[in-house]
Amino acid sequence: MAETSELIEFRRAFVWLLCGMLLPSVALVAFGVVAVANERAAVERRLAEEYDARLHVVSQDLLARLDRAADAVAAGREDRLIASLQPLENPPAELADAARRAASLPIGGHVFANAEIGNERRGYALVRSLFGGNEVTLLAQYDPLAVAGEVSKLAEARFPRERAAFRLAPPREPVPALAALRRIVAEAGQNATVVARAPLGPPLDGYTLAAELPGDPAAPLAFRNRTLYIALLVLLYVGIGAGFGLTLREMRRAYKLSRLKTDFVANISHELRTPLTSVRLFAETLREGRAEGPEEVQECVTLLSAEADRLSRMVEKLLDWSRLESGRGQLELERTDVPSLLDRIGEAYRAQQLPASYQTEIEPQLPAVDVDRDAMAQVVLNLLTNAVKYTGDDKRIRVRAKRSGRNVAIEVEDNGPGVRPHDRKRIFERFYRGDDLLSRRTEGTGLGLAIAKKIVEQHGGRIELDSRLGVGSIFRVILPAAA
Domain ranges of the chain: 2-90+98-115+122-172+186-216, 330-480
Contact criterion met (CB below 8 Å) for 449 and 462: no
Higher pLDDT, 206 or 174: 206
Q: What is the mean pLDDT of the chain?
A: 79
- What pLDDT, on the 0 to 100 scale, is given for residue 181? 47
Q: Is the pLDDT of residue 273 over 90?
A: no
Q: CATH class for domain 330-480? A: alpha beta
Q: How sure is the predictor about 18, in pLDDT bands with cuts at 50, 70 and 90? A: low
For 247-286, letters b (16+ CB in 10 Å) and e give: eeeeeeeebeeebbeebbeebbeebbeebeebbeebeebe
Stretch 46-69: mean pLDDT = 91
- What pLDDT, on the 0 to 100 scale, is given for residue 268? 64
Q: How sure is the predictor about 213, in pLDDT bands with cuts at 50, 70 and 90? A: confident
Dihedral over alpha carbons 123, 127, 131, 136 (to 10 degrees): 100
Q: Is the pLDDT of residue 434 over 70?
A: no
Q: How sure is the predictor about 22, in pLDDT bands with cuts at 50, 70 and 90? A: low
- What pLDDT, on the 0 to 100 scale, is given for residue 177? 46
- What pLDDT, on the 0 to 100 scale, is given for residue 445? 63
Q: Looking at this protein, which amino acid is placed at residue 432?
A: Y
Q: Closest Cα partner for 228 from 95, 32, 402?
A: 32
Q: Is the pLDDT of residue 50 over 50?
A: yes
- What pLDDT, on the 0 to 100 scale, is given for residue 238? 79
Higher pLDDT, 319 or 481: 481
User: pTM for this one?
Assistant: 0.45
